[in-house]
Amino acid sequence: MKPIYIDYLNALDIEALAMTDAEIIGAVEAGLVAQGKGQTVIEPRVHLEPDPSFHGHFNVLRGYVAPLDAAGVKIVGDYVDNYMHGLPSEFGILNLFDPRTGTPRAILDATVITDMRTGAVTAIGAKHLAKKSSKVLAHIGARGTAYWNVRLLDHLFDFDEIRVHSRQPESRDAFAAKLAADLGKPVLAVADWKSCVEGADIVVEASRLPEPQPLLKTEWIKRGALVVPYGTMSAVELSLTDIMQKIVVDDWGQCKGGKFGSLRAHVETGRLSEATLHAELGQIAAGLKPGRQSDGETILFWHRGLSLSDIALGKAMLAKAGENGIGQRLRFA
């Protein structure tokens, strides 16, 4: 047997790649288009919860993207109390394989990949589902994927006003300050959900609640807005889906089952079903179903996170790393 090597990108390597906003969005959208065209295999995520007292769990995501000739498995820990230890809430590893032989190809630090690809899916959803004239962004949540949500959305929309809120004042203030410095524009940290959400064109709810609690009120949502709730625990009222002209998800197979998710109760009570679902985002990205068709449509986009997005972004990172001599090769066999 000839030698087998694994390409390895650690966190420092991925930082050195300096992926641009356009590169991140382009890679992830390519994965969504492949999904929309039926060129992928997605296995619903599974969870490992070692002990409820640890306030965290592991997500295991698996998928195959035919146009990229790659299969992948990502394992990511999601621990809401990590900020108390000076750690990010999520740590992840992405493993890529040859889909024909099972040969390992690459191992990547997936912590920032998770954040980037989640922000990209939020942004791509808004690209197809928000009003082109959207100028006010409301973002609930300041850790984990929050930064890339705001950064990549602003890359597409160049907002006039960005409002952010989270439970800890020090967290939201630091988040707003970092965004303002990186985006070169004011970012407003607000003290409550209503002040953040009311009247916004795009509302992203990425809270990290210990248990479901309807903190985002349906009455605050502006007509014609895009609402993107994707917290692990639901923070929305059951009535939220009642005002929507379209409901879009990233993958219905993942959204219709499982323990976690912002619209879990809506699925269980029949408010969200195959009958009420407009489309998966990949179908819209591939041009097979329409996105927003008028400024008056109020639209909801729920994404659980796709292995396909991790695989697509990981492949793009490996390509750029190869071009720039970044990363390491590990002897496997």
Q: Which pairs from 49-53 meet CB under 8 Å and 24+ separation?
A: none
Position 144 confidence tier, pLDDT thresholds 50, 70, 90? confident
CA-CA distance, 243 to 173, in Å (whole number)?
32
In the predicted structure, residue 152 carries a pLDDT above the cut 90: yes
In the predicted structure, residue 210 carries a pLDDT above the cut 80: no
Torsion sign over Cα 238, 242, 247, 251? positive
Mean pLDDT (whole number) for 64-71: 98
* 188-189 vs 161-165, strand pairing mode: parallel
CA-CA distance, 241 to 244, in Å (whole number)?
5
* Among 11-20, 100-109, 232-241, 262-271, the least confident range: 262-271
> Other CB atoms closer than 10 Å to residue 20's CB: what's the count?
11
Tens-place pLDDT, residues 182-209: 999 999 999 999 999 999 999 999 987 7
Q: What pLDDT does residue 5 have? A: 97
H-run or E-run covering 317: helix 307-324
In the predicted structure, residue 260 carries a pLDDT above the cut 70: no
Length of the chain counted residue by residue: 333
For 125, the token pair is 């959803």
Question: Which residues 6+ apart lie within 8 Å of 228 measured at CB?
Answer: 122, 125, 126, 202, 203, 204, 205, 300, 301, 302, 303
In the predicted structure, residue 259 carries a pLDDT above the cut 70: no
First to last CA, the chain: 9
3-state helix vs strand vs coil in the chain, percent to 5: 40, 25, 35
Per DSSP, what are the bridge partners of residue 244? none
Q: How far is CA 171 from CA 168, 193, 209, 211, 215, in A?
A: 5, 15, 15, 20, 19
For 15, the token pair is 């930082």
Return the residue matching tokens 């100028």. 135
CA-CA distance, 259 to 249, in Å (whole number)?
17
